[in-house]
Structure 1
């Protein structure tokens, strides 16, 4: 285990303040609470160990999300040959929030999100669930703004199809996605 040097308290507090957002993003990418927690922990450890490389005054959140995203894609490439819950046993165990506003259940939305290609899922979650601008999401993903807009549009269209909606505009994806990703009673680390 690498030896971690102290970090100034204000920066440490900013990092800790990002934990819920990092976990929500990791959980949405992985759909696996254990893997999500591991990603967040690895992200914080990697950021802490490389704090000398962080340029003070720049966007700490973007830096942390980039680290998490890179860790996810590295692990995803290794895991993509694993069997993925084909019978939906794991998905059926996911928490569903009460008081749904429509016939769409959050479990349905979670199942649909998992079926999206990772790049589309990432884009729609950054813009929809995290509330990031297209520009910010494009910077985090290292692609053009038009690419992010296209991925979000394709993701929303695919979600509407998977959820058997007549039109993607029948879906309020940002609010539904955000609500579906919030799991009550789950600790960040």
Structure 2
């Protein structure tokens, strides 16, 4: 493939890169930068492209690898070296690491709160949680479908009140 043909094909396929770039970066300007980097790398490395292979797939691979490389660079920039005698590497920024204990406490509280629901609310709620449809729950419990919906709603409301400590702002 000549340079002119390659350049024409590259220009034609550039539009199809935009949705993928937006999905990766979640930002229009960053997506445009990523597309520009991808096209530049593809053009400078056109000698590595084999005729008869899928140019679009090659461009998507370049874009994905460029995004990963840029993301890793960004993470490295957010890391600084502690110059004390211990030489620890610390991540800067507002990150927090949670251990499994928090999740275990939450799960215990959820199970406890569900266990303390009145059985008339707990049973339809748990059946719905397990994937049963409203109609199936109504038939199984021999109650009207409106009652099933109401009991599930009330159970959710009570659980939300009891577990309000876990509410995210």
Both proteins in one fold, TM over 0.5: no
Q: Relative CO higher for 1 or 2, CA cutoff 8 Å, sep ≥ 6?
A: 1
Q: TM-score range by the shorter chain?
A: 0.3 to 0.5
> Which protein has the larger Cα radius of gyration, Structure 1 or Structure 2?
2
Output the TM-score relative to the length of structure 1: 0.38
Output the TM-score relative to the length of structure 2: 0.42
